[in-house]
Amino acid sequence: MINSEETIKRILGECRTIAVVGLSSNPMRPSNGVSSFMQEKGYEVIPVNPYETEVLGEKAYPNLSEVNREIELVDIFRRSEFAGDAVDQAIAIGAKAVWLQEGVIDKAAAKRAEDAGLLVVMNRCWLKEFYRYGK
């Protein structure tokens, strides 16, 4: 179920490899701060941004299909109108879950992901939820 406490806890506990779509090298951007925190907590962060070559010491990829390893969670830091494309890519690569960050809302895309069997969180901040439910 989208945004359920159980879903959030499962994602935080089970999804250790996270592709962050829209991850910026600018330390003032929320994507950078949240992703840096993820790394500090032991998660593997994979930057996905066609305008970056490296972020937080990791090679950046232009899109999810270019990533050459398994991705468990796709965390989306894009405007709502672009979130659906990232969700569709997450479904296509066989990700376990998608997380649309706080302020990112695409109900149709979230439903497509849920219907495809992915765990789904929408309009929530990964960092805030980690403090609420994480370890």
User: Domains in the chain, please, with CATH?
Assistant: 5-133 (3.40.50.720)
Strands 17-21 and 73-76 turn out to be parallel
Kindly state the average pLDDT of the residues 46-72: 97
Contacts of 116 (CB under 8 A, 6+ apart): 91
Strands 97-100 and 73-76 turn out to be parallel
Comparing CA positions, the residue from 13, 19, 31, 45 lying closest to residue 102 is: 31
Whole-prediction pTM value?
Answer: 0.96
Q: What is the pLDDT of residues 28-55, one digit of tens each?
A: 999 999 999 999 999 999 999 999 999 9
pLDDT grade, residue 91 (50/70/90)? very high
For residue 1, pLDDT over 90 is answered with no
Report the length, in residues, of the chain.
135
Distance, CA of 44 to CA of 19 (rounded, Å): 8
